[in-house]
Structure 1
Amino acid sequence: MSSLAFADVRREGRDDVHYRARAFGPDAKLHTLLIVNISPHGLMARCDACFEVGDRIRIQMPVIGVMVAEIRWSLGGRLGAQFETAMDLAAYYELIAGMMRGK
């Protein structure tokens, strides 16, 4: 029996957060995401909705407004999404500060 290894290769680290955000799915229905971690390029969140890989969602973020993201994976109430446009670091740090303040 063979053993498969999975390497989690990312361009950068992620910041752990615990932030509830509103998101609109491809059907324009409102969903609530619990963002668990985030980077300038994407995020991982928990959500009751079932999204498919390749779905595009719009996420309302504090400070910076709406971010469009593509679902890269979805499994057991969790999802990973990559932002359509990466955030510059100044905007990213403002976003993290806004999430920590609960805006």
Structure 2
Amino acid sequence: MATQQKKIFVPRPPRQWINAETVVDDGNGRLLDSRIWNISKGGFMAECEEKLPIGAHIVVELPKRGKVRAEIRWAVGWRFGAKILGEV
């Protein structure tokens, strides 16, 4: 008899889809052009002109929120997701 595994659902905050140009400060003296595709209370998805490593800390200006510090949590090519750490 096969055992069934119960799927665990972790609710995520709702995302707002946007298309906004901004600049990412990579913490190494570079300002990189980027585009934000969605944003939630705790994070955002964007793409950047340079590939950013997972775990990197960045500063970015978000629409209607201002400058925030964020940590790259995942990256696929030039697209990445970041967790907002706090206001700058």
Give the TM-score taking structure 1 as reference length: 0.68
Q: Is the Cα contact below 8 Å between 1:32 and 1:47 reproduced in 2?
A: yes
C-alpha displacement of 1:32: 1.2
Q: Is the Cα contact below 8 Å between 1:41 and 1:85 reproduced in 2?
A: no
Distance 1:13 1:58, change over 3 A: same
**Residues 1:19 and 2:20 are matched in the alignment:** yes
Distance 1:34 1:9, change over 3 A: farther
Unaligned runs of at least 5 residues, structure 1: 1-6, 87-103
* CA deviation vs aligned residue, 1:31-60 (integer Å, no higher than 9, x gap): 111000000100000112111111000002
Between the aligned partners of 2:60 and 2:15, the Cα distance in structure 1 is 18
**Residues 1:29 and 2:30 are matched in the alignment:** yes
Between the aligned partners of 2:11 and 2:51, the Cα distance in structure 1 is 24
Amino acid at match of 2:79: R
Corresponding residue for residue 40 of structure 2: 39
Root-mean-square deviation over aligned CA pairs: 2.1
Distance 1:14 1:63, change over 3 A: closer
Runs of 4+ in 1 over 3 A off after TM superposition: 7-10
Distance 1:78 1:10, change over 3 A: farther
Larger helix fraction of residues: 1
Corresponding residue for residue 57 of structure 2: 56
Q: How many residues align?
A: 80
**Structure exhibiting the larger radius of gyration computed from Cα positions:** 2
Unaligned runs of at least 5 residues, structure 2: 1-7
